[in-house]
Amino acid sequence: MISYILLWISFHFRSHQHPGKTESTQVENFLECKTPKIRIKFCSEQEGYDFYNAYARAKGFSIRRSSSHNVKNTTTIKNKTFCCSRQGIWGPDKREEESSNCSKPKTRCMCQARMKISLRDGFYYIYEFEPIAQAKHII
């Protein structure tokens, strides 16, 4: 279902121009409807990831899978956190200083954007959502 939504977004915003509305206005109108909200239901963890990834792309950032917890003695995911790819900080470089000619670029900015989902009654539900703070992403 999420792939259908992504296909629809791509088709709708590129091939249907509404008079007097720019593409960015149309995207903003779509995002008002598709902004993650508490208790939105997904059939799988992957569907939740795809939903948040589509939202993140439209907002101009990328995401990564962060922490998760499994149901005891199984591989079923009980809770999952998706966060901004720039969330957190890098630890110190543990390589020897002589061997590293150039240091890794600093790409983390402590962005707190995230969405958490939890398994209940066979479905995943959003139980926490923190929107992106655009000021953190200025390079």
Supply the pLDDT for residue 52: 94
* Residue whose C-alpha is closest to residue 107's, from 132, 139, 79: 139
For the domain that residue 66 is a member of, what is the CATH number?
2.20.25
Which amino acid, residue 70?
Answer: N
In the chain, the amino acid numbered 51 is: F
* Cβ count within 10 A of residue 58: 16
What's the total number of domains in the chain?
A: 1
Residue 24, domain member (yes or no): no
The residue segments making up the domain with residue 46 are 36-91+107-130
136 domain residue, yes or no: no
Whether 43 is covered by a domain: the verdict is: yes
pLDDT tens-digit series, residues 64-109: 999 999 999 999 999 999 999 888 877 776 766 655 566 666 777 8
pTM of this structure: 0.68
In a domain, 61, yes or no: yes
Residue 26 lies in a domain: no
Q: Residue 8: which pLDDT band, with cuts at 50, 70 and 90?
A: very low
Could you tell me if residue 3 is inside a domain? no
The top-scoring range by mean pLDDT among 6-10, 59-63, 108-112 is 59-63
Distances (CA, A) of 72 to 3, 66, 75, 78, 88: 31, 19, 8, 9, 28
Q: Is residue 100 part of a domain?
A: no
